[in-house]
Amino acid sequence: MFNPGRFLKLLKLLRLLKFDYDPVDRNLWVSGLAVLILALILALSGRGVQSPGESGSPLVFTQWWEDEMEAGSLQALVDEFREQYPEIDLRLDTRSYGEMRDWLLYAGETGEEAGESPRGEAASSRGALQADILGLDPRWIGELTQKGQLEYLDTDDADSEGRTISFYVPQGTAALPLVSFMTPLFYNIELLEAAGFDRPPKNRAEFLNAARAATNPRQGRYGFALALSPDNPGGIAADIYSWFRAANGPLLDRGKPRFNTPEAIEVLDFLGELYRKSLISPSSFSKTEADKREEFINGRIAMMIASVRDIPLIRERNVPFGITTVPGAASSFGRPAFGLYGWYVGISASCTNKTGARIFLSFLAGKRSRIGAAAWAVPGGGDATEDYISDDPLFSKVYSIYEAGEALEEFTGRSGATKEETLVREALYRMFEEGRQPKETAAAIQQGWEALQNR
């Protein structure tokens, strides 16, 4: 890239040269002139000194999102960025969610090394993970920040080359939010009607009755499903936390868990009853989100809690379904509470071209609407005027639930959130499979979370 300032400085140096030199210094003068001419050529070509936005190696953007977006949409964004900033060599590296989670959160604990970054042609080789720019689950951010693996974001208006870097995050933040998703209750209209219900359940008592009426194990049909496999990233948050929030609001009070309340114990008792009466489809602790979705599509379950991202996938299979809020207690009043999960992006502390990485984050921040549409995210960037929301009755319904309720993102930046989910999964297994009582289960979760945070 041509740099006018560098070019003018070189011209001034050339003007200082005198042509009435002594013959003895001829060789020295010629050598010096050759060096200056070479420097001038490099200045004109922009290769003499790298600008802050350039680096000797490419920037690797590692994420799991590509397979969860419309085909080709993320690569199209990367291609657009490359065209806009040709001096920044950006590479797209797609991994599975589980691979990213295990490398980022657990590699050090198992004695494994992160290995070398997937540079050059290796950016898509599925080699060891050590990216410059990372797609992030908000539940990872606190732990990664605590370990010093993420760069704190600096949101100056421009870099030293005058290129705008436009995004805002609070001081001391290490990740930029892009889009967010809700997990409402999906219900199969035909199965509920066949069971004698002309609308979805409005509270837990109605839900229990509908699940009981829709269940027929001989026909392989159940009222509800839980997808609690450790390989299912949103299983505990969607299938378990949703019930607690619907009954009791936030899971945390000034950072402390609220599992020892009467309302929380009632939720555990309710889930235990569903399980004991075989109203939940089998294999809950090995089931993934995709498994649960297939059960719903094939008419094997009448209701499930799932991401809004599943709406177009279910529609493709011509299933008659609706969406509603996750039911609370019959006595619940006020705004319903629900969780959001999202996609964040951050810069690895090991990145050698942080200016280029910040420029890419700025670019992504300006593409939130496009990313949300490609991922079918609601509330997405939080704007109901997006065409895919306003023009679609189901997405509009989800957005109306969002506006009427209390959206909670309690685990963004909280250290140990994934370990807390593991504790909940283990406690539920003991309650469902080993007969532990709901009150004991609540106490075990409460004590386990407090112990994790006091480490």
SS3 38: helix
Fold of 60-180+342-380: D-Maltodextrin-Binding Protein; domain 2 (3.40.190)
Question: What is the rounded CA–CA span in Å between residue 105 and residue 141?
Answer: 10
Report whether pLDDT(121) > 80: no
Share of the chain above pLDDT 70, in %: 80
Q: Domain residues of the chain, as ranges?
A: 60-180+342-380, 185-324+416-453
Same topology, domains 60-180+342-380 and 185-324+416-453? Answer is yes
Instruction: Tell me the percentage of the chain whose pLDDT exceeds 90.
Output: 69
Angle at CA 348, nearest 5°, toward 343 and 352?
140
Q: Are 411 and 139 in contact (CB under 8 A)?
A: yes
Listed residue (308, 311, 180, 331) closest to 246, CA to CA? 331
How far apart, in whole angstroms, are the C-alpha atoms of residue 242 and residue 237?
7
Instruction: Provide the 10 A C-beta neighbour count for residue 98.
Output: 13
Buried b (16+ CB within 10 A) or exposed e, 113-138: ebeebbbeeebeeeeebbbbbbbbbb
| Whether residue 43 has pLDDT greater than 60 | no
Residue type, 218: R
Render pLDDT for 284-299 as a digit per residue (tens, 0 to 9): 999 999 999 999 999 9
User: What is 185-324+416-453's CATH number, 3.30.70.100, 3.40.190.10, 3.40.50.300, 3.40.710.10?
Assistant: 3.40.190.10
pLDDT tens-digit series, residues 105-116: 887 554 444 433
Convert the pLDDT of each residue in 131-173 to its tens digit: 999 999 999 999 999 999 999 997 665 666 667 778 888 888 9
Residues 257-266: pLDDT tens digits?
999 999 999 9
pLDDT at position 55 over 80: no
- pLDDT tens digits, residue range 230-263? 988 889 999 999 999 999 899 999 889 999 999 9
Q: Other CB atoms closer than 10 Å to residue 157's CB: what's the count?
A: 7
- Nearest 5°: CA angle at 314, between 211 and 95? 110
Q: Which of 329, 327, 365 is nearest to 345 (CA)?
A: 365
**CA 24 to chain CA mean position, Å:** 70
